[in-house]
């Protein structure tokens, strides 16, 4: 009875027309649903703000090949990254087989792409092998998820829904692979048994068919048919499930990488609407009339989903909730509320909530809720150190910090809201040109007995020094860092480099204001500094502080401040290469050194090798911390954290980093940033190691080796 | 309730004051001017009170005695959140003069609470607030570190030696405030600065008042002598110096 | 013509501040050939009142009206000005503390009297009547002429030495007609800190900073304070960490004090802290870091480990 009905079914199925029609209908339904989903998403994209223009296609293509197809960022976690790469590459190959299946389904053919010959063989074979590899990987992933406690899969943002989503996605992929494997086994088994033509190569399928050799040709055929339908239906289902799942990244990841933000990580986007206002504030006499307040209603910064850019939204849809960003976030590691993953998930969720309401009722619709406060709290936003570890870690180049800073911008520029200490910092920068309350008159006190050319004197004599040495506020006012500036000035003098300082005319570059969201104050400072440099016809600037370096190099060009910006390490490196350093000073013989990468030199600007090169010239005993270079843990001072109390957490970031340094056993921690120096020196005090371990700047080490 | 905050314009506190020995005034070239820090506390306090709708604060006005050169400081106060401003067009000469001008301006309007900082960072006098209250013959409370409004009555915390007093007072009242009165400083939002351009500064002409005091000479402070170091191994020498030289023990 | 001193009392007792005022007034009276009267408001017994005579007070007026038991600025100003007019005071001397700051300006308007606020020296001249006070937060000192007939001087605490000019003062209880509804402000509650020497009153203060390393290290510092009869203070990080009570925090955002002697132990001398203590007559710094900025403002310094230095200081003191 059963055999007959099966046979009847076979007959029916063997009727190509019905099969094709059914397939076509299912395909049509699939496309319709997919089209509906995509058009809704597009309507939400229309609500967002513009972002950077998409140009430089060559560069983008290169990044896509490297990061997306090469999986380079995924490999930052080598072992689990390799398994993911297998899954991804497998999908890339299997997609061709899936296209073939659709073609077969519509046209009633079997393995229609067979005419590609050896290429078809290769694709089928790889698909077959990958099906097995992917299935194994997925089982490993599932075991990890369900039986092991993996920290980055947990978090306040990881609700039951996320875990279920993950489980469903993994299950679906596993079933897809099993059905593919079964399909191939069935095909090979049937063709072998009936002596038919095998189109393509199926090594695993062949193996499985051999294992189940007891099955008849008909059995294999049934297995093939059922698996074929299961597989293609799963694909159709999966394709439509993805946009509603965290696994949307299957579609979105490659485009998201192609659409990567190409600017250096340290660079924040200039707010041009603020530039207009600030120029007016600086020159009230200017003929351009003030933009009437009513007309200028465009909101500053990001408060709700519609204030974000299309790229932020694209990022949020592409985010697969893997948690790598959160697992390297110094704030999160030390128990603060901030989780970069949560920021992206919240944007996606909020757009899902408000998008339909705005599409229906108009863009001005107010549901009395907001991304800010109802989803993302101020505490999370103010915990960020802007270290860019999250952006560096994200396998698909999502940029979380730009959204965090944009939300800070809203708080400061619209609501005048910021932690109290930062408001004092803003007032200080505005009133006395430095984040702390010090008089500009004292900006040369560090120079004391040294001969330091001052720009105003030098320029008045008609001279033009080659470099402007930018001392920075820390160099001028931080008692510890003054010694570093002195050391470097002694080196410059020793090397006969022509330079001058602005002295009392120097003011804050505006960097702390910018990181804290006060774009207006930043631009005021920036424009004033740029005007001053223009008056002195400055072309080249040397800085020590990485924050000043980043601001001059990456951000001042947006405001027409264009200079050749050189970090002091690059000067030291250059002169070291040219052999102008007298190495092998005995005072450095016995020290062992470890180096802490400043975030604004390392991740933000890619400078990792120069400092190491210099240190290794000075001493043979160099030890790397386990979290180093682009993996280095922030000292905790960036993002204006230096000037405020830390947000509530379990531990202080600077203590965590000091512990990294102490673990190396080095007797000297070398730093290249005034903030890092303050933090690590404090860290040594807290750990009662000040007697055993010294924190020195690279300039001090070099000066020492030169006997200065 | 309407609040008036009296503000004065002072050099930024980090400025190095420049004058020649014997001058009566300082050199103001290139000085950065700010709202007197204690007055800024008053303004912040007023705005914090206004933030809570339960307090029923209708408006916060700032008043200042000065010439047009102090308008940027007044605009800053408006940008931080004051609703409008009054400027009495006169050079501020002494506390009595300033207080008389402000009292006259207040007499013309009805303000319920007048806030003044307890001190100004230029002449370090603690006078204007108290004087205004006497000119207007209304009560005043000084050394105020907290103001609350409960059912239209002011509940004020005043600092005394070794403690505090909680005082109730009716309006109109002058409250002379000090540190502790405001939770956090305020900044001007971009939005605030844009709005400030449209807020009104009312200019009043001064009344005829003769100042009661006059500064004739400014002297530079005597520089501190360099530190005398005592050997850590023999600190008793320090005790000798403190006893016999400094005579403080 | 007389010099009138107004002094408050603390639970019926006078403090060193009161005697500073009287000493100062006596010296001023000598300059203008005048006598010194002191007005005390509140319940003070005769024995205590008579102590004012030791510093030169000739006439002591005591007003014990119940309605004046707590400070109402308006009321006090009217009472003091009434007395000032009655005794034809040409100079009024008040403390530059919170009470003085509250009353003096109102007196100034009532009597059309110019104020010298926070004066720290005797008048530089009597004709014109010129006083000496700090300006620009200590970056300058000003000579200020008080042009009015009646002059008010608020004296900076601890700026004038006590001078004994013993004499028997006449004590007069005065009664003033005051309407019971005249006090518009009412004190609802008084919160007092008990015990210990008030930081703002202390002549000697011993203060600890983060260089002390741990709250467990305080006993030697406390011993030094006790031996000296000093009050204790601390820097901001110490108070933030909870090592010492909040009330001990001196600095820009804490208490501003001006003792005769300020001993800073393990305090680096950050500007914010110095803002609270720079008016001290003498600053002693004990710090292990020779580059600590505090040595730039201290008159005496010891570079060394506080844990070793403090006990030695205590021993040296005890041996005197």
- C-alpha span between C105 and C316 (Å, rounded): 48
Confidence of residue A13 (pLDDT cuts 50, 70, 90): low
Residue C116 DSSP label: E
- What's the pLDDT at B223? 81
Alpha-carbon distance A488 to nearest alpha carbon in chain C (angstroms) = 19
Residues 6 or more apart whose CB falls under 8 angstroms from that of A678 comprise A478, A480, A481, A637, A642
Closest CA to A413 of A277, A557, A266: A277
The residue of B99, B150, B237, B248 whose CB has the most chain C CBs within 10 angstroms, and thus the best one to mutate to test that interface, is B248
Across the range A421-437, mean pLDDT stands at 94
- For residue B213, the distance in angstroms to the closest alpha carbon of chain A comes to 30
Query: Is pLDDT at A627 greater than 70 in this prediction?
Result: yes
Structure tokens belonging to residue A500: 């001058």
Band of pLDDT at residue A287, cut at 50, 70 and 90: very low
Smallest Cβ–Cβ distance between A437 and the set C271, C291, C293 belongs to C271
Three-class SS of A181-242:
HHHHHHHHHHHHHHCCCCCCCCHHHHHHHHHCCCCCHHHHHHHHHHHHHHHHHHHHHHHHHH
Q: How many CB pairs under 8 A join B and C?
A: 260
Judge: A423–B12 Cβ closer than 8 Å, yes or no. Answer: no
Nearest CA-CA partner of A503 in A547, A468, A542, A463: A468
Q: What is the Cα–Cα distance from A570 to B198, expressed in whole angstroms?
A: 50
- Phi and psi (nearest 5°) for A101? -65, -40
C175 part of contact set with chain A, CB < 8 Å:
no
Give the per-residue pLDDT at A288: 46
Check: complex ipTM more than 0.90: yes
User: B102 contacts in C (CB within 8 Å)?
Assistant: none
Closest-CA residue to B110 (of B1, B246, B207, B6): B1
Question: Does residue A640 have a cis peptide bond before it, meaning omega lies within 30 degrees of 0?
Answer: no
In angstroms, how far is the first alpha carbon of chain B from the final one? 54
Instruction: Give the ranges where A501-589 is alpha helix by DSSP (H).
Output: 511-515, 519-535, 546-550, 568-577
Percentage of residues in chain B having pLDDT higher than 90: 72
Distance from CA of B118 to the nearest CA of C (A): 8
For residue C160, the distance in angstroms to the closest alpha carbon of chain B comes to: 14
**DSSP H or E stretch at residue C134:** strand C129-135
Contact A172, A135 (CB under 8 A): no
Give the pLDDT score at C102: 96
This prediction has a pTM of 0.91
Q: Is C216 on the interface with A (CB under 8 A)?
A: no
Q: In this complex, is the C-beta atom of A141 within 8 Å of any C-beta atom belonging to chain B?
A: no
Asked if residue A486 lies in contact with residue A517, where contact means CB atoms within 8 angstroms, the answer is no
Q: Does A437 touch chain C (CB under 8 A)?
A: yes
Of C95, C252, C251, C92, whose CA–CA distance to C158 is shortest?
A: C95
Closest residue in A to C240 (Cα) is: A645
Higher pLDDT among residues A457 and B22, named by residue = A457
CB contacts, 8 Å: A289 with chain B? none
β-bridge mates for residue A48, sequence order: none
- B247 confidence band (pLDDT: 50, 70, 90): confident
Residue B181 · residue B142 · CB < 8 Å = no
C291 contact A CB<8A = yes
DSSP symbol at B245: I
CA atoms within 13 A on the CB side of B19: 20
Provide the pLDDT for residue A617: 85
Contact A645, A637 (CB under 8 A): no
Alpha carbon of C283 to those of C209, C271, C275: distances in Å?
14, 14, 13
Tell which residue, A153, A294, A271, A193, has the closest CA to residue A520.
Answer: A271
d(CA A278, CA A287): 14
A555: helix, strand or coil: helix
A291: chain B residues, CB-CB within 8 Å: 194
- Nearest to A403, CA basis, from A298, A538, A307: A307
Are B15 and B29 within 8 A, CB to CB? no
Percent of chain C with pLDDT over 70: 99
Rounded Cα distance between C288 and C300, Å, is 14
Q: What is the spatial distance between Cα C305 and Cα C312, in angstroms, rounded to a whole number?
A: 11
What does residue A157 show for φ and ψ, rounded to 5 degrees?
Answer: -80, -10
Render pLDDT for B67-89 as a digit per residue (tens, 0 to 9): 999 999 999 999 999 999 999 99
Closest CA to C207 of C218, C216, C196: C218
Stretch C276-290: mean pLDDT: 90
Token pair, residue C235, equals 């820097």
> Whats the size of chain B, residue-wise?
249
What gap in Å lies between CA A233 and CA A30, rounded to an integer? 9
- Beta carbons of A473 and B14 less than 8 angstroms apart: no
Instruction: Examine the pLDDT at A331 and tell me if it is beyond 50.
Output: yes
Helix (H, G, I), strand (E, B) or coil at C62: strand
- Say how far apart CA C38 and CA C40 lie, in whole Å: 6
A168 has pLDDT over 90: yes
The two three-digit tokens of residue A484, written as one number:
């570093």
Q: Which other chains touch chain C, taking contact as 3+ CB pairs less than 8 Å apart?
A: A, B
Tokens, residue A517: 């969201």
Per-residue pLDDT averaged across B77-103, rounded? 96
Note the maximum CA span of chain A.
110
Which residue on chain C is closest to B163 by alpha carbon?
C192
Is the CB of residue A581 less than 8 Å from the CB of residue A617? Answer: yes
Interface contact flag, C115 B125, Cβ < 8 Å: yes
Tens-digit pLDDT profile for residues B179-236: 888 878 899 999 999 999 889 899 999 999 999 999 999 999 888 788 999 999 888 8
pLDDT at site A296: 58
Sheet arrangement for strand A564-567: A499-500, A467-470, A540-543, A564-567
Measured CA distances, A706 to A305, A493, A698 (Å): 56, 12, 12
Which of these ranges, A577-591, A647-661, B57-71, has the smallest mean pLDDT? A577-591
> Measured over all CA atoms, what is the biggest interatomic distance in chain C, rounded to whole angstroms?
64
DSSP classification of residue A121? H
Instruction: Say if residues C25 and C56 touch (Cβ distance below 8 Å).
Output: yes
CB B9 within 8 A of CB B86: no
pLDDT more than 90, % of chain A: 85
Cis peptide before A174 (omega within 30 of 0): no
pLDDT for residue A704 is more than 60 = yes
Q: Is C288 exposed, middle or buried (0-12, 13-18, 19+ CB in 10 A)?
A: middle
Angle between helices C98-111 and C73-86 (to 10 degrees): 60
pLDDT given for residue A285 in this prediction: 64
Q: Chain C residue closest to A480 (CA)?
A: C291
Mean per-residue pLDDT of chain A: 93
Q: Is the pLDDT of residue A4 over 90?
A: no
Residue C204: strand, helix, or coil: strand
Give the pLDDT score at A589: 77
A2 vs A168, higher pLDDT: A168
Is A522's pLDDT higher than 50? yes
Put simply, the answer to whether A414 touches B189 (Cβ < 8 Å) is yes
Predicted confidence band at A293 (pLDDT cuts at 50, 70, 90)?
Answer: low
Sign (positive or negative) of CA dihedral A517, A521, A523, A526: negative
Q: Residue range B125-154: average pLDDT?
A: 94
**SS3 string of A325-367?**
HHHHCHHHHCCCCCCHHHHHHHHHHHHHHHHHHHHHHCCCCCC
Interval A532-543: pLDDT, tens: 999 999 999 999
% of chain C beyond a pLDDT of 90: 69
Cβ contact (<8 Å) for C271 and A479? Answer: no
Average pLDDT value for chain C: 91
pLDDT digits (tens, 9 = 90+) for A216-231: 999 999 999 999 999 9
Going by their DSSP bridges, the two strands C2-7 and C89-95 should be labelled as parallel
Report the Cα–Cα distance between both ends of chain A, in Å, rounded: 100
Whether B120 contacts B106, CB under 8 Å: no
Q: Given pLDDT bands bounded at 50, 70 and 90, which one contains residue A141?
A: very high
pLDDT of A297 strictly over 50: yes
Residue of C94, C133, C140 to mutate when probing chain B, most B C-beta within 10 A = C140
Q: Does the N-terminal peptide bond of residue A469 adopt cis geometry, omega within 30 degrees of 0?
A: no
Backbone angles phi, psi at C150, to 5 degrees: -95, 140
- What Rg value do the Cα atoms of chain A yield, rounded? 31
Tokens of A196: 């038919």
Rounded Cα gap, residues C115 and C112, in angstroms: 10
- Residue A98: predicted pLDDT: 95
pLDDT at B15: 86
Residue A500 is predicted with a pLDDT of: 97
Q: Which of B155, B159, B154 is nearest to B171 (CA)?
A: B154
Question: Does residue A2 surpass a pLDDT of 60?
Answer: no
Residue C195 in this model has a pLDDT that exceeds 80: no
- Provide the shortest C-alpha distance from residue A419 to chain B (in Å): 8
DSSP structure string for A355-405: HHHHHHH-TT---S--HHHHTB-HHHHHT-----HHHHH-TT---HHHHHH
Task: Give phi and psi for A316, each to the nearest 5.
Answer: -70, -30
Best residue of B31, B79, B190, B198 to probe chain A, by most A CBs closer than 10 Å:
B190
Q: Are A595 and A612 in contact (CB under 8 A)?
A: yes
What pLDDT is attached to residue C177? 85
């Amino acid at each position: 009875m059963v055999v007959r009905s099966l046979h009847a079914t076979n007959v029916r199925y063997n009727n190509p027309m019905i099969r094709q029609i059914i397939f076509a209908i299912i395909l049509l339904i699939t496309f319709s649903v997919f089209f509906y989903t995509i058009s809704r998403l597009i309507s939400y994209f229309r609500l967002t703000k513009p972002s950077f223009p998409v140009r430089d296609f060559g560069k983008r293509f290169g990044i896509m090949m490297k990061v997306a197809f090469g999986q380079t960022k995924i490999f930052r976690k080598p072992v689990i990254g390799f398994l993911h790469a297998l899954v991804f590459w497998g999908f890339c190959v299997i997609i061709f087989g899936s296209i073939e299946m659709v073609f077969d389904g519509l046209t009633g053919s079997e393995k229609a792409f067979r005419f590609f010959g050896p290429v078809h063989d290769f694709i089928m074979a790889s698909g077959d092998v990958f099906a097995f590899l992917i299935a194994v990987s997925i089982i490993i992933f599932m075991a990890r998820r369900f039986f092991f406690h993996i920290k980055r899969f947990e978090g306040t943002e990881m609700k039951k829904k996320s875990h279920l989503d993950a489980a469903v996605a993994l299950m679906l992929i596993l079933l897809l692979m099993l059905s593919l494997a079964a399909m191939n086994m069935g095909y090979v088994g049937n063709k072998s048994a009936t002596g038919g033509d095998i189109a393509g190569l199926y090594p695993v399928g062949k193996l499985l068919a051999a294992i189940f050799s007891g099955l008849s040709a008909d059995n294999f055929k049934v297995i093939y048919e059922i698996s074929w339908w299961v597989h293609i239906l799963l694909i159709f289902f999966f394709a439509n499930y993805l946009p509603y799942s965290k696994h949307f990244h299957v579609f979105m990841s490659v485009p998201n990488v192609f659409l990567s933000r190409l600017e250096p990580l340290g660079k924040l986007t200039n707010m041009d609407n603020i530039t207009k206002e600030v120029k007016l504030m600086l020159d009230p006499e200017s003929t351009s009339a003030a933009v009437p307040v009513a007309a200028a209603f465009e909101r500053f910064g990001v408060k709700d989903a519609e204030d974000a850019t299309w790229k932020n939204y694209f990022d949020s849809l592409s985010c697969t909730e893997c948690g790598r960003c959160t697992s390297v976030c110094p704030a999160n590691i030390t128990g603060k509320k901030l989780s970069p993953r949560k920021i992206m998930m919240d944007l996606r969720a909020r757009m899902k909530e408000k998008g339909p309401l705005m599409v229906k009722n108009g863009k001005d619709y107010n549901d009395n809720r907001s991304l800010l406060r109802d989803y993302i709290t101020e505490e999370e936003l103010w915990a960020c150190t802007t270290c860019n570890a999250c952006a560096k870690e994200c396998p698909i180049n999502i940029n979380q910090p730009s959204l965090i800073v944009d939300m800070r911008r809203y708080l400061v520029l619209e609501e005048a809201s910021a932690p109290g200490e930062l408001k004092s910092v803003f007032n200080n920068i505005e009133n006395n040109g430095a984040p702390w309350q010090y008089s500009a008159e004292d900006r040369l006190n560090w120079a004391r007995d040294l001969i330091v050319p001052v720009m105003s004197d030098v320029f008045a004599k008609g001279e033009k020094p080659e470099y402007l040495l930018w001392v920075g506020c820390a160099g001028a006012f931080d008692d510890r860092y003054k010694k570093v500036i002195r050391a470097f000035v002694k080196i410059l003098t020793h090397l006969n480099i022509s330079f001058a300082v602005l002295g009392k005319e120097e003011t804050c570059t505006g960097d702390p204001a910018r990181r804290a969201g006060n774009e207006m104050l930043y631009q005021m400072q920036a424009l004033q500094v740029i005007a001053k440099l223009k008056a002195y016809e400055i072309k080249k600037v040397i800085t020590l502080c990485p924050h000043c370096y980043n601001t001059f190099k990456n951000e001042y060009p947006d405001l027409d401040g264009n200079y050749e910006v050189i970090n002091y390490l690059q000067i030291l490196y250059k002169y070291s290469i040219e052999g102008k350093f007298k190495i092998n000073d005995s005072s450095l013989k016995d020290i062992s050194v470890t180096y802490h990468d400043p975030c604004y030199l390392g991740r933000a600007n890619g400078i990792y090798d120069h400092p190491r090169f210099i240190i290794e010239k000075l001493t043979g005993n160099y030890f790397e911390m386990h979290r180093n270079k682009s993996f280095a843990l922030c000292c905790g001072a960036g993002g204006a954290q230096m000037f405020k109390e830390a947000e509530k957490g379990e531990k202080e970031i600077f203590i965590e980093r000091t512990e990294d340094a102490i673990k190396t056993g080095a007797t000297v921690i070398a730093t290249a940033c005034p903030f890092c120096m303050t933090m690590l020196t404090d860290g040594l005090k807290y750990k009662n190691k000040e007697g055993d371990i010294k924190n020195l700047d690279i300039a001090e080490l070099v000066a020492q080796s030169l006997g200065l | 309730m309407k609040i008036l905050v009296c503000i004065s314009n002072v050099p930024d506190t980090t400025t190095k004051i420049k004058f020649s020995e014997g001058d009566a005034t300082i050199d103001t070239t290139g000085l950065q001017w700010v709202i007197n820090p204690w007055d800024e506390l008053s303004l912040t306090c007023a705005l914090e009170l206004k933030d809570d709708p339960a307090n029923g604060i209708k408006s916060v006005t700032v008043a200042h005695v000065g010439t047009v050169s102090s308008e940027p400081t007044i605009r800053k106060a408006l940008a931080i959140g004051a609703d409008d401003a009054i400027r009495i067009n006169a050079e501020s000469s002494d506390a009595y003069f300033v207080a008389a001008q402000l009292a006259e301006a207040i007499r013309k309007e009805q303000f319920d609470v007048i806030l003044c900082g307890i001190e100004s960072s230029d002449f370090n006098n603690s006078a204007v607030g108290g004087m205004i209250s006497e000119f207007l013959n209304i009560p005043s409370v000084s050394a105020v570190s907290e103001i609350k409004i409960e059912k239209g009555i002011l509940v004020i915390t005043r600092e005394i030696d070794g403690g505090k007093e909680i005082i109730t007072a009716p309006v109109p009242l002058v409250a002379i405030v000090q540190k502790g009165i405001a939770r956090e400083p305020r900044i001007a939002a971009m939005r605030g600065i844009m709005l400030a351009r449209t807020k009104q500064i009312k200019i009043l002409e001064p009344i005829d008042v003769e100042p009661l005091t006059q500064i004739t000479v400014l002297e530079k402070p005597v520089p501190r002598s360099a530190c005398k170091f005592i050997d850590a191994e023999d600190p008793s020498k320090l005790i000798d110096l403190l006893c016999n030289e400094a005579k403080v023990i | 013509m007389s010099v009138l001193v107004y002094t408050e009392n603390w639970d019926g007792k006078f403090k060193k501040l009161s005697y500073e005022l009287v000493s100062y007034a006596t010296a001023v009276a000598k300059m203008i050939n005048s006598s010194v009267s002191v007005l005390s408001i509140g319940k003070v017994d005769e024995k205590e009142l008579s102590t004012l005579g030791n510093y030169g007070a000739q006439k002591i007026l005591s007003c014990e009206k119940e309605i004046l038991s707590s400070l109402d600025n308006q009321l006090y100003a009217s009472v003091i000005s009434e007395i000032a007019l009655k005794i034809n005071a040409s100079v009024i001397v008040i403390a530059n503390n919170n009470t003085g700051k509250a009353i003096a300006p109102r007196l100034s308007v009532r009597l059309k009297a110019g104020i010298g606020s926070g004066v720290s020296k005797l008048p530089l001249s009597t004709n014109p009547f010129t006083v000496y006070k700090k300006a620009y937060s200590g970056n300058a000192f000003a000579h200020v002429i008080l042009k009015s007939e009646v002059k008010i001087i608020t004296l900076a605490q601890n700026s004038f030495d006590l001078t004994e000019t013993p004499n028997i003062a006449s004590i007069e209880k005065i009664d003033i007609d005051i309407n019971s509804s005249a006090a518009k402000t009412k004190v609802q509650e008084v919160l007092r800190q008990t015990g210990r020497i008030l930081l703002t009153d202390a002549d000697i203060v011993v203060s600890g900073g983060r260089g002390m390393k741990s709250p467990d290290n305080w006993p030697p510092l406390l011993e030094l304070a006790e031996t000296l009869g000093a009050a204790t203070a601390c820097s901001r990080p110490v108070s933030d960490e909870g090592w010492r009570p909040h009330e001990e925090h001196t600095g820009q955002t804490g208490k501003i004090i001006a003792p005769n002697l300020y001993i800073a132990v393990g305090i680096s001398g950050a500007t914010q802290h110095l803002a609270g203590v720079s008016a001290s007559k003498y600053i002693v710094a004990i710090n292990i870091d020779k580059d600590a900025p505090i040595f730039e403002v201290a008159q005496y310094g010891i570079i060394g480990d506080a844990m070793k230095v403090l006990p030695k200081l205590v021993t040296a003191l005890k041996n005197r």
